[in-house]
């Protein structure tokens, strides 16, 4: 079971944040979800073991205003990268003595994005390897993936223990640079190509899309190695193998955002690759072209 005397706040209870909230609550923790619109049930639909939890404080609570919360030991920020600034009013109220902020976001710049808004609390980056879709307030579809990778930092073993008894597996990673680049490589293949084509993971059965994905990942892997990530020579082929392992009807988070009319996360993914490539004078023409297309799509009326 979790550590029930250490209250936890989840800022951004969308797909990933909602799943984390559900599993922390299932493990016996007191969880407050900080959201824009209230809901009275948290439902996680999955084929093997669907879960449904009533919102009933103090075990599971919903807050819609920063004025409704107080400092807690742990804050999980699961907002999309482009929405990081929206965490500031919540963190101003949630951070107190001894608070740690765990940033569960895509990309390689989690700490840099959130530290300006964290009210002085330490920010520990984390990655979620899950196929989960938010289909409505408090309603999720979890198609697979139960891994959360957290940078190994002082005190984080206590955070991992909070999940004992839930379905998510939390791993403390001493080489978070490599782990974050590996996740980024998968993201810069799956997210842009599903979004630009409007198709789900089955799109990777198309030979032309596979070739483009390999090119994107090879450019990014070169930038990652220059940044200190320990990436294999065949990292691109491994990424495609991982993509093949997802259910064909699974979508990417960026595709879900496009279909819902929400802003896209392209700058935190493909943009981060280009910034790293520029730092090391490495060419990345495929990623540059994809970023231009995503930016145009994001800005379309």
**Domain boundary at 173, 199, 223, which?**
173
Q: Which residues pair with 290 in a beta bridge?
A: none
Together in a domain, 125 and 232? no
The predicted structure's pLDDT at residue 4: 55
- Whether 90 and 9 have beta carbons less than 8 Å apart is answered as yes
Question: Which of 11, 49, 250, 244 is closest to 130 using CA atoms?
Answer: 250
Residue 83 has φ and ψ, to the nearest 5°, of: -105, 15
> How many helices (H) and strands (E) would you count in the chain?
11, 10
Confidence bin at 301 (pLDDT 50/70/90): low
Average of per-residue pLDDT across 239-267 = 92
Tokens 């075990």 correspond to 59
CA distances from 123 to 12, 155, 218 (A): 16, 12, 30
> What's this model's pTM, rounded to 2 decimal places?
0.91
- Helix axis angle, 207-226 to 176-197, nearest 10°: 150
Is 100 a member of any domain? Answer: yes
Together in a domain, 14 and 69? yes
DSSP-derived secondary structure for 173-209: ES-HHHHHHHHHHHHHHHHHHHHHHT--GGGGGSHHH
Together in a domain, 160 and 272? no
Together in a domain, 198 and 214? yes
Say which CATH number the domain at 38 has: 3.40.50.720
- Active-site hit among 183, 225, 256, 258: 183
Together in a domain, 146 and 284? no
Average of per-residue pLDDT across 51-63 = 94
- Which range of residues forms the domain containing residue 286? 177-298
Chain centroid to CA 224: 19
Question: In the chain, how many domains are there?
Answer: 2
Together in a domain, 62 and 197? no
Question: Which of 77, 156, 164, 130 is closest to 247 using CA atoms?
Answer: 130
Is 2 a member of any domain? Answer: no
Cβ contacts of 233 within 8 Å, gap of 6 or more: none
Together in a domain, 116 and 198? no
Q: Which residues of 70-94 are buried (b: 16+ CB within 10 A; e: fewer)?
A: ebbbbbbbbbbbbbbeebeebbebb
Is 191 a member of any domain? Answer: yes
Together in a domain, 89 and 122? yes
Is 1 a member of any domain? Answer: no
Residue 300 has pLDDT above 80, yes or no: no
Q: Give per-residue pLDDT as tens, 194-240.
A: 999 999 999 999 999 999 999 999 999 999 999 999 999 999 999 99
Together in a domain, 154 and 64? yes
Q: Give per-residue pLDDT as tens, 123-156.
A: 999 999 988 889 999 999 998 889 999 999 999 9
Is 211 a member of any domain? Answer: yes
The predicted structure's pLDDT at residue 31: 98
Together in a domain, 118 and 224? no
Q: Is 183 a catalytic residue?
A: yes
Together in a domain, 25 and 149? yes
Residue 269 has pLDDT above 70, yes or no: yes
**Domain boundary at 154, 173, 192, which?**
173
Together in a domain, 51 and 160? yes
Average of per-residue pLDDT across 256-268 = 94
Average of per-residue pLDDT across 157-166 = 94
């Amino acid at each position: 079971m979790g550590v029930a005397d250490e209250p936890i706040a989840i800022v951004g209870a969308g797909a990933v944040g909602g799943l984390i909230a559900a599993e922390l609550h299932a493990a016996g923790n007191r969880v407050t979800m900080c959201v824009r619109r209230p809901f009275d049930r948290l439902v996680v639909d999955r084929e093997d073991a669907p879960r449904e939890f009533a919102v009933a404080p103090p075990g599971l609570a919903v807050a819609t205003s920063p004025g409704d919360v107080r400092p807690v030991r742990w804050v999980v920020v699961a907002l999309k990268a482009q929405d990081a600034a929206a965490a500031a009013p919540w963190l101003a109220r949630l951070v107190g003595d001894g608070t740690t902020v765990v940033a569960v976001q895509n990309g390689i710049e989690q700490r840099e994005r959130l530290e300006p808004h964290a009210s002085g609390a330490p920010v520990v980056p984390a990655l979620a390897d899950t196929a989960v879709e938010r289909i409505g307030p408090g309603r999720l579809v979890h198609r697979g993936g139960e891994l959360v990778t957290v940078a190994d930092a002082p005190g984080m073993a206590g955070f991992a223990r909070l999940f004992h008894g839930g379905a998510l597996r939390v791993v403390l990673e001493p080489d978070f640079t490599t782990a974050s680049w590996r996740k980024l490589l998968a993201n810069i293949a799956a997210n842009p190509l599903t979004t630009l084509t409007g198709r789900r993971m089955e799109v990777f059965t198309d030979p032309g899309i596979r070739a483009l994905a390999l090119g994107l990942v090879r450019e990014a892997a070169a930038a990652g190695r220059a940044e200190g990530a320990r990436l294999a020579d065949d990292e691109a082929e491994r990424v495609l193998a991982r993509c093949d392992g997802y259910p064909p009807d699974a979508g990417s988070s960026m595709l879900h955002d496009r279909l819902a009319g929400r802003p896209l996360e392209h700058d935190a993914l493909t943009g981060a690759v280009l910034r790293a490539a520029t730092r090391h004078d490495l060419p990345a023409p495929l990623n540059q072209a994809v970023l231009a297309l995503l930016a145009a799509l994001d800005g379309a009326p």
